[in-house]
Amino acid sequence: MQDKSGKGAAVGGDAAAAAQNPVHLNGHSTPSNGYSQGITPTPQQPSDSSAPFPGPPPAAVVERDQWGGKYEFLLSCIGYCVGLGNVWRFPYLCYRNGGGVFLIPYFIMLFVTGVPLFLMELSLGQYGSAGPIMVWKCCPLLKGIGIGMLCVSTLVCLYYNVIIAWTFYYLGSSFQSPLPWSCDALSNALICGNGTVGNSSMEGRHSPTEIFWNEKVLGVVNSEGLHDPGPVRWPLALCLLAAWIIIFLCMLKGIRSSGKVVYVTATFPYFVLIVLIIRGATLEGSLQGVAFYLTPDWSRLANAQVWNDAASQIFYSLGIGVGGLLSMASYNKFDNNVIRDTIVITVGNCSTSFFAGFAIFSILGHMAWRKGVPVGKVADTGPGLAFVAYPEALALLPGSVFWSIMFFLMLFMLGVDTLFGNMEGITTAVLDEFPNLRRNTFHKALFLGTLCFVFYLMGLLLVTDFILIYIFLEMYNTPLQYGSYVYPRWGKGLGVCMGATCCLQIPIWAIVAISRETGSLKERFKKSIRPLNSWRVNNSNRAAISEEQVEPEQVEAPYTVTLTDMDFTAMTWEMGSDA
């Protein structure tokens, strides 16, 4: 008993000494009353002698929207990944790089680079429950990656909706009978000679579809080059305005509205592709087009360009590294099966690309048969395939007006779905930085409307009589020229600067993160790669971790812990048992 009482007296003395000395916590001095070692009262304490732990109140967290169901997320991601590139870029790359043999490096790149990076983006967004900028609180040194993603998404939104405007223009023109780019139209009678596309008089001359594309849509014949942009083409400007209004209305309520729209926009293109494949299979010469699409050239596997094209198509098609995937995943439930989603979306997307090739080349084969030329003479790359070769092929089909409407409606929905993802990356990043916008529906709608309007004004630069947007799409294929016009070096330099601006965000913000820390360079680097305590604050409203409390980074005010006799008794018993 003497030992215990002695120890108890020692404990009491220590308590008195501790009462005179403040305890430092997180850089703040906190006055102590008794022991301030963070000891909390036991549940058996009497209510009249216990004092609540007066810690700082948790920061107010604005609840984030969540997908209405797993199918909304899946369809949104599939719609985001399956875009215009699946229809016009993959089939041509497959043809240019050895036909069916291109599938070997394509699927190797899918599983070696595409699937791991896709899984990483979905996992990071879902776990951190934040957009492409805020999520990098997990490693402040890499914040520049998020800024770079935002820059890329902005550039993509600018040009991608211009392509949707082109599609909208063709869709509206498709309601005319006969189609304005067909030989049946009176305006094309002189161009087509006796009305047959395969007429020998057409050799060396532009076809009606090329004239419609260059003069009616792009208007390139009215411009001398980049130095002479010319006036805005108002028909395209109105189509661009309509496209941005549709985007605004679909995204007005965030994922609650866009998540419902994708049930139509993500599934309708598959219906059209199936119908086009069935129709194409019944046409003369379709097998010639399919054979041209799939015939393997095994020697192409030794060419590094083939592997480069395969890797670039995987990144382009899956939408990796631009923030859309990360943002959409941030609205998932915390325990969503992200591995299942990754496999379904990536394999589904790449299978769609391969599937679309049959629809494209079966009809191009029929077009080659009608014109009496090899398939290689009618296949083109980029916009030329979607807006020149394919409209011409559609004009040859019985019921051409119906098929043209279906095709361009499919392209329109493919483009809108992809733009949803890119816009979601931008809006999520801004709403994470300014969470008050989430609370006020009017302010959120005003922000989205302003963003769409600014993008529309900037997009007007791309619907004049030079063809800047076409240059950016074709910059991959050097030298830069359109027909006989060769673009100046500063035109290519402009594109290089755009890409460099996005990439430079990574080292710039890494330097900023390191400079904000204290200590030696090594210590600053260690601190800049350490996750902040608040980086998962958005998860505090998730059911899966509802009991988890997010602690603030710093204690904002001093506080006092009051201990009772029971605390001293428990400590005395504890010390006695240790002895």
Per-residue 3-state assignment (H helix, E strand, C coil) for 359-422 = HHHHHHHHHHHHHCCCHHHCCCCCHHHHHHHHHHHHHCCCCHHHHHHHHHHHHHHHHHHHHHHH
| Cα–Cα distance measured from residue 488 to residue 495, given in angstroms and rounded to the nearest whole number | 12
Average pLDDT over residues 195-207: 49
β partners of residue 30 = 23
Q: Which residue is it, tokens 């629809």? A: 359
Rounded to 5°, angle at Cα 448 from 444 and 449 = 115
pTM over 0.85: no
pLDDT tens per residue across span 63-74: 677 887 778 888
pLDDT tens per residue across span 352-397: 888 888 888 888 888 788 878 887 777 655 566 678 777 887 887 8
Distances (CA, A) of 571 to 17, 22, 46: 16, 21, 18
Average pLDDT over residues 311-332: 88
Judge whether residue 543 has pLDDT over 60: no
Q: Which residues have a Cβ under 8 Å from the Cβ of 428 and sit 6 or more positions away?
A: 131, 132, 323, 327, 330
Q: Which of 502, 504, 458 is nearest to 153 (CA)?
A: 502
Continuous segment of H or E residues that includes residue 481: strand 481-482
pLDDT at 52: 44
Q: Which residues have a Cβ under 8 Å from the Cβ of 142 and sit 6 or more positions away?
A: 136, 506, 509, 510
Identify whether the C-beta of residue 477 lies closer than 8 Å to the C-beta of residue 107. no
pLDDT tens per residue across span 8-64: 444 444 444 444 444 443 344 444 444 434 444 444 444 444 444 444 444 455 567
Judge whether residue 82 has pLDDT over 80: yes
33 C-beta neighbours (distance < 10 Å), count: 13
pLDDT at 230: 65
| Confidence bin at 579 (pLDDT 50/70/90) | very low
Continuous segment of H or E residues that includes residue 281: helix 268-281
Which residue type sits at 515? S
Identify whether the C-beta of residue 419 lies closer than 8 Å to the C-beta of residue 246. no
Percentage above 70 pLDDT, the chain: 70
Rounded to 5°, angle at Cα 501 from 320 and 482 = 80
Judge whether residue 234 has pLDDT over 50: yes
Average pLDDT over residues 326-332: 89
Helix boundaries (H) for 129-266 = 143-173, 189-192, 208-211, 234-251, 255-265
pLDDT at 484: 60
Q: Which residue is it, tokens 């498709």? A: 174
β partners of residue 33 = 562
**Which range scores top for mean pLDDT: 33-37, 122-126, 262-266?**
122-126
Q: Which residues have a Cβ under 8 Å from the Cβ of 49 and sit 6 or more positions away?
A: 564, 565, 566
